[in-house]
Amino acid sequence: MNVLIAGGAGYIGSLAVRRLLDAGHLPVVIDDLSTGKRESIPAEAVFYHGDVADAALLDSIFKRFDARMVMHFAAKISVEESVSHPDRYYLNNVSKTLVLLERMFTHSVKKIIFSSTAAVYGQPLYLPIDEDHPVKPTNPYGASKQFVETILRDYHSAFGLDCVIFRYFNAAGASLDGKTGECRKEKRSLIPVVLENLEKKRESVIFGDDWDTPDGTCIRDYVHVEDVVSAHVGAMKLFEKGGVFEVVNLGSEVGSSVKDVLDAVAKASRKEVAFRVGARRPGDWAKVVASGNKAEALLGWRPKYSDLETIVNTAYQWHFNRLY
């Protein structure tokens, strides 16, 4: 199958391109390279440098390649930036998705897998968080993803759009073969930040060590990027029956604290990881962990590589040996 990959040069999208090729599909990538890397796209895939809201470009792609499905990874994803520049998030994450959907429907493409986020849940009311947990985002990034989820639900009801929405928890790690990984200039996720600080001999900051957790630091659910992508490829089979609208968490169901991550980096690097304790950040929660019951029931999906050691080891190898 020919599959349009919006944001296919980014961290998760570029690995999805490789795994789709492995499965015998043709990924057709559109990416503006604002954060993605052209070097991440294998020669066997088709690549277009452009905006996901470029209607003329989308028309030409759908006409030429007859893509029957879309995987939509393209988005701005910084919580902090979304608070100071919400306009960028509603434009990029919401408005541009509307253009993509319009062009899809013009070409009778009614299958989409959308990358959402656990940030739509807001403050956890109970743990583990399942898909029935109330949705109440506390920042414009999470709100922008919730808006798109609502749009997709309405398009399913009104126009018969088949859709799978994946709510990622903390996607992390790098490909097992070392060919792709996270490469943003501005590191925001904990593991890449700690690795960069280690490389540059800087202290990492723990934002509070007085949380209600065993070691006093925040606990998060880290899921390996290989497992995230395997769920996307597996979800393609759901569309065979039609009438599909599913919202699915992607997490490991295991919580790892900030100190756990620092210890894992120290073990992988065989170096001491320097850190200092700073103040809590507004909007942080003590613990966030996913329920993976629906992913297992619907897709037969269980994470294979999401133990913290594998996540950190692959991230470490990528950071210090990356190809681009």
Q: How far is CA 172 from CA 38, 193, 236, 283, in A?
A: 21, 12, 23, 21
Active site residue 168: no
Q: List beta partners, residue 205.
A: 276
Alpha helices in the chain (DSSP H): 11-22, 55-65, 79-84, 86-89, 96-106, 140-159, 190-199, 225-235, 258-269, 293-299, 308-321
* The one catalytic residue among 141, 155, 168, 316: 141
Dist. CA 68–CA 114, nearest whole Å: 15
Q: List beta partners, residue 166.
A: 115, 248
DSSP state of 99: H
Give every CB contact of residue 298 below 8 A, 6+ residues apart in sequence: 238, 246, 248
**At residue 11, what is the residue type?**
Y
Which residues participate in catalysis according to the annotation?
141
